[in-house]
Amino acid sequence: MAAKTAYENYLNDTTLPETGIDALLEVLKLRQDGDDTFVGDSIDFVGPRVFGGQVLAQALLSAAYTLEYDKPCHSLHGYFLRGGDIRLPITYQVRRLRDGRSLSAREVIAVQYVEGLDKNGQKVTKEQVIFSMIASFSPMEGGLEYQGRMPSYPAPETLQTEQQLKHTLVDKVPEPLKLRFMRERPIEMRPIHPQDPINPAPTYPRHAFWVRAYKLGEQPVAIHQAVLAFISDYYLAGTSLLGHGLTLTTPGMQMASIDHSMHFHRPFDVTEFLLYDMWSDTTSHAKGLNHGQFWQNGHLVASTQQECLMRKHPVTDA
């Protein structure tokens, strides 16, 4: 009963923070706390647990800040180990694994310090690891070039924004969820084949969005990559639900990201429209595997892959 009351209070919260691009940039401002250690704060992007995209972005920046030479990231591989609490700061501990002539590798461990009880019932502060990542950095250089063909979708100018579409759906949303449902995201999204989040129908598990952070302003490459990592966690896990006619709001649905990888192939500008094309090729053993590609001006600029936990629990009236 206490857990249910806490959830109801959460749904009825009318003091939701701003989540525009300025709020995102503020979250990306990390504080240095000793050698190769950085601290970041959180805001409620998706709920009381820290948004996975936020952790990806902050971890990537913390690793980039330890480089002696400015190198963009070319790949990262991370594991979400526990849900983070948005009320607590996150400490990013960076380990320098390698600094070669071209490649630099970093390990990042994200921890939160929570109060708990020891075996004698005494209050103690415990370190909880919520995320781990290895990232590799390398300067852009010439070489062999190949890519597939960019998928053909309607241009972003012909599509409604996610926020405009929300206004057409808000009457279907349960009253306690409407305030949260209508909040604007820090980035602009234009769905190409909008899904009904309340009454979805099974469909081929592929969807795409045009995305941009057009109010970002002039920023270094590390920020552009961090923002793209942030964006990459939106809707990726939910792709594996499309074939089942389910969404994250389906009663009894439990979902959590397990891991997340990202490869940066070519330069891009996150203030201009990028196509985020996503698909799922399998769901099994309570897990789904999802893939994504970012395209800009005909160029494949980044690829993503994520495995998620997905369980459909029976719903009772109790």
Distance of CA 159 to the CA centre of its chain: 23
Is residue 219 among the annotated active site residues?
no
Pairing of strands 206-212, 274-284: antiparallel
Name the residue type at position 239: T
In the set 104, 257, 261, 280, the catalytic residue is 257
Residue ranges of alpha helices (H) inside the chain are: 2-11, 21-27, 52-64, 162-169, 178-181, 221-232
3-class SS of residue 280: strand
User: By C-alpha distance, which of 17, 4, 13 is closest to 54?
Assistant: 17
Check if the beta carbon of residue 62 is closer than 8 Å to that of residue 30: yes
User: By C-alpha distance, which of 255, 300, 305 is closest to 280?
Assistant: 305
User: How far apart are alpha carbons 81 and 303 in whole angstroms?
Assistant: 22
In the set 112, 233, 280, 293, the catalytic residue is 233
Is residue 257 among the annotated active site residues?
yes
In the set 93, 104, 261, 306, the catalytic residue is 306
Name the residue type at position 190: R
Three-state secondary structure readout of 86-149? CCCCEEEEEEEEEECCCCEEEEEEEEEEEEEECCCCCEEEEEEEEEEEEEEECCCCCCCCCCCC
Nearest-Å Rg of the Cα atoms of the chain is 20
Is residue 306 among the annotated active site residues?
yes
Residues classed as catalytic:
233, 257, 306
